[in-house]
Amino acid sequence: MAIATPEPQQLVDLSSIKTVKQVPYTEYFVSGHRTCQGCESALVMRYIAKAAGPRTVVLGSTGCMYVANTSYYTTPWVVPWMHTQLGSAGSAALGAAAGLKVLMRKGKLADEPINVIAFCGDGGGADMGLSAISAALTHAEYRFLIVLYDNESYANTDIQLSGSTPYGAVTTFSPSGKKRRLMHKRWKKNTPGALVAGHPDAAYIATADAAYGVDFMNKVRKGLASGGPSFIHVLDPCPKGWHYDPQYSHEMGKLAVETGVWSLWEMENHEVRLNGTTKQIAAGRFSRKPVREYLSKQGRFAHFAEEDYEYFQKRVDEQWSSWLIPGVVSFRLEAGTPLNL
């Protein structure tokens, strides 16, 4: 039922990880999952479980992190894990969190903070399941975290384009051929930007990148500690889908941020801040690397002509020069409009 003001939430003690040295050693997602060499999505799962700890239940929607991890009839998860449907990360998080809350309130279950985390890929989350995530983020009365791991394709079905696939990228639904060099001409939508702009009752929303593991793990903890509905959109390079040698998975993650293609930011307590290298780029202390340095290392852009690189660079430049908030809010504001800065 709708409540006018959120009830006081039971906060879980999830302290901030200040340096790499403070990353907990214990794994709650263990070896023995049928993921690709260099799979950064698996690394994301590992970080989620590590950051959240044992008083956690995880809901995993269909995708690589379902099929690869649990094939066949097995599991790498130490914490309880349940499958949910492709577009259901939002509804699963909501149902599990609401169920636990009401049982505790009625005295049918011991009252304690339980982390509810649901994950989805870019296909299941930003495409099919966006409405469910949006609805979930309006429920200030429940505490849960939704993590969208973005490998920029429907990867488990052998790489098809999604709404999060970058411009021009080759996938099995957008091959480069004699007649058409580029079949995918839609620009990647800004899902976290859309969510943060439109859900004032979301307690925490952030972007992250698998290459910045400590930052991501802190964001997982912040999301869970926020006491309400939270969402993290994490970019994770995919050697199978992006066509590069797995050994460069970490480097790809860094280049995405260093070229300004992907931005690291968070909204906490209704305040947006840029993080890490993204912040340094915005402050002029770090020069964005040319996007070519990132794109040319991936076979999915091997067919790019000069004009494609130029277009891509132009669009990324716009993210930094024209967007109201770089990487976050994708439009300008009419000159003279007052801003509450």
Could you say which of 246, 315, 320, 325 contacts other proteins (CB under 8 A)?
Answer: 246
Could you say which of 11, 30, 305, 333 contacts other proteins (CB under 8 A)?
Answer: 30
Q: Which range, of 103-111, 177-185, 268-276, 321-329, touches other proteins by CB under 8 A?
A: 103-111
Could you say which of 12, 14, 17, 39 contacts other proteins (CB under 8 A)?
Answer: 39
| Partners of 231 in the β-ladder | 146, 205
C-beta pairs of 103-111 under 8 Å, 24+ apart in sequence = 111/10
Q: By rule CB under 8 A, what count of residues binds other proteins?
A: 91
Question: From the CB of 151, what's the least distance to other proteins, in Å?
Answer: 12
Query: According to the binding rule CB under 8 A, does residue 179 interact with other proteins?
Result: no
Query: According to the binding rule CB under 8 A, does residue 207 interact with other proteins?
Result: no
Per the CB < 8 A criterion, the answer to whether 151 and 40 are in contact is yes
Query: According to the binding rule CB under 8 A, does residue 296 interact with other proteins?
Result: no
Query: According to the binding rule CB under 8 A, does residue 101 interact with other proteins?
Result: yes
Could you say which of 175, 198, 200, 302 contacts other proteins (CB under 8 A)?
Answer: 302
Q: Which range, of 51-59, 192-200, 220-228, 257-265, touches other proteins by CB under 8 A?
A: 51-59
Q: Is 197 or 214 the residue whose CB approaches other proteins more closely?
A: 214
What backbone phi and psi angles, to 5 degrees, belong to 158?
Answer: 75, 40
* Binding positions for other proteins, 135-164, rule CB under 8 A: 135, 139, 155-158
Torsion of CA 284, 289, 295, 296, to 10 degrees: 170
Q: How far apart are CA 242 and CA 170, in angstroms?
A: 8
Query: According to the binding rule CB under 8 A, does residue 54 interact with other proteins?
Result: yes
What backbone phi and psi angles, to 5 degrees, belong to 249?
Answer: -60, -40
Per the CB < 8 A criterion, the answer to whether 137 and 178 are in contact is no
Structural tokens at position 139: 């429920």
Q: Which range, of 9-17, 245-253, 258-266, 279-287, touches other proteins by CB under 8 A?
A: 245-253
Could you say which of 17, 96, 232, 255 contacts other proteins (CB under 8 A)?
Answer: 96
Question: From the CB of 58, what's the least distance to other proteins, in Å?
Answer: 9
